[in-house]
């Protein structure tokens, strides 16, 4: 079968380009154009890539959460919550603080598996609908969100409204008679621990894959 396609000329002389040199495969004009474009591309990339790297870097940086003393163990009963202030972002005053509700682990009440990190239960006030601050109402033993009507029971599991999963918690430990609150973690509806997710992300079933854990925040391995 004859090849109908035009044979691509190998040299500029074959292509009948005026001023072709013997054995030249690229015309000087094309060479100049290509080098100028390449130089422009490299120059643009040289300032664009570092700038983009700076903008997207925080998505991949690990964020360390310090352990912070919230009070002596005697402060916290096992049937109701004591609010404490926790600094989650340093150096920016009030904005970097959040409220955490702390009580002693209660065998009759709690369903979360007992281990070294939950002698004291520390519940985050971040509503799992869209992140508004919930407050604990002692009379009804419920956490109530002011924004869109999310309601949680004393364990922090959803008892009504739009939230998609139980309230986040913080790891706790006891050091020299003081309760210390550490990194945040999320829970599915069976109160199993997951790396922290943002509000609005269900982590039951496929949810944990649809809303993957981020490199910035991880639960303590093996918990």
Partner 1 sequence: MAITPERPKTTERPEPAAPKEPSPRKEKLQDKGISTVDWLDERTSLSAGTRWLLFRKIPRGTNWFYTLGSASMFAFLSQAVTGVFLAMYYDPSATRAYESVRYLTNEVFLGEFVRGMHKWGSTVMVILVFLHMARTFFFGAYKYPRELNWVIGVVLLILTLFMSFTGYLLPFDQRSYWATTVGVAINGTGPLVGPYLSDFLRAGPEFTTTTLARFYAIHMLLLPAIIAAMIGAHLYLVARLGTTAPPWIRADTSPELREDKA
**Binding test (CB under 8 A) with partner 1, winner from 25, 160, 212, 223:** 212
> Minimum Å distance from CB 114 to partner 1?
27
Cα–Cα distance for residue pair 95/76, rounded to 1 Å: 26
Residues 111-150 that bind partner 1 (CB under 8 A): 129-133, 147
Cα–Cα distance for residue pair 164/162, rounded to 1 Å: 6
Please state the three-class secondary structure of 157-218 as a single string: CEEECCCCCCCCEEEEEEECCEEEEEEEEEECCCCCEECCCCCCCCCCCCHHHHCCCCCCCC
Q: Contact at 8 Å (CB) between 72 and 178?
A: yes
Binding-residue total with partner 1 (CB under 8 A): 32
- Which residues have C-beta within 8 Å of that of residue 70, sequence separation ≥ 6? 84, 86, 100, 102, 122, 178, 179, 180, 181
Q: Which is nearer to partner 1, 46 or 92 (CB)?
A: 92
Q: Contact at 8 Å (CB) between 170 and 196?
A: no
- Residue owning tokens 């869109």: 148
Q: Is 77 in the site for partner 1 (CB under 8 A)?
A: no
> Minimum Å distance from CB 195 to partner 1?
10
> Minimum Å distance from CB 27 to partner 1?
35
**Binding test (CB under 8 A) with partner 1, winner from 23, 93, 177, 221:** 93
DSSP code, position 74: G
CA atoms within 13 Å, Cβ hemisphere of 140: 10
**Binding test (CB under 8 A) with partner 1, winner from 1, 59, 74, 139:** 59
* Binding string, residues 26-55; x marks residues near partner 1 by CB under 8 A: -----------------------------x
**Binding test (CB under 8 A) with partner 1, winner from 2, 18, 91, 177:** 91
> Minimum Å distance from CB 131 to partner 1?
4
> Minimum Å distance from CB 202 to partner 1?
9
**Binding test (CB under 8 A) with partner 1, winner from 17, 20, 63, 182:** 63
Cα–Cα distance for residue pair 212/114, rounded to 1 Å: 26
Residues that bind partner 1 (CB under 8 A): 55-56, 58-59, 61, 63, 88-89, 91-93, 95-96, 129-133, 147, 196-201, 210-214, 216-217
């Amino acid at each position: 079968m004859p090849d109908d396609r035009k044979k691509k000329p190998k040299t500029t002389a074959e292509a009948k380009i005026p001023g072709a040199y013997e054995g030249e495969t690229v015309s000087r004009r094309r060479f100049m154009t290509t080098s100028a474009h390449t130089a422009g591309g490299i120059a643009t990339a040289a300032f664009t890539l570092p700038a983009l790297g700076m903008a997207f870097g925080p998505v991949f940086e690990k964020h360390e959460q310090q352990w912070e003393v919230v009070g002596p163990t005697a402060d916290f009963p096992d049937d109701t919550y004591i609010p404490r202030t926790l600094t989650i972002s340093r150096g920016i005053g009030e904005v970097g603080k959040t409220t955490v509700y702390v009580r002693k682990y209660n065998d009759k009440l709690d369903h979360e598996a007992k281990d070294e990190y939950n002698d004291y239960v520390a519940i985050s006030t971040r509503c799992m609908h869209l992140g508004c601050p919930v407050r604990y109402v002692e009379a009804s033993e419920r956490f109530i969100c002011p924004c869109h009507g999310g309601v949680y029971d004393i364990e922090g599991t959803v008892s009504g409204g739009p939230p998609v999963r139980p309230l986040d918690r913080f790891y706790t430990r006891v050091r020299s008679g003081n309760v210390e609150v550490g990194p945040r973690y999320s829970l599915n509806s069976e109160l199993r621990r997951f790396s922290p997710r943002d509000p609005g992300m269900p982590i039951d079933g496929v949810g944990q894959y649809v809303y993957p854990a981020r490199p910035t925040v991880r639960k303590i391995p093996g918990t």
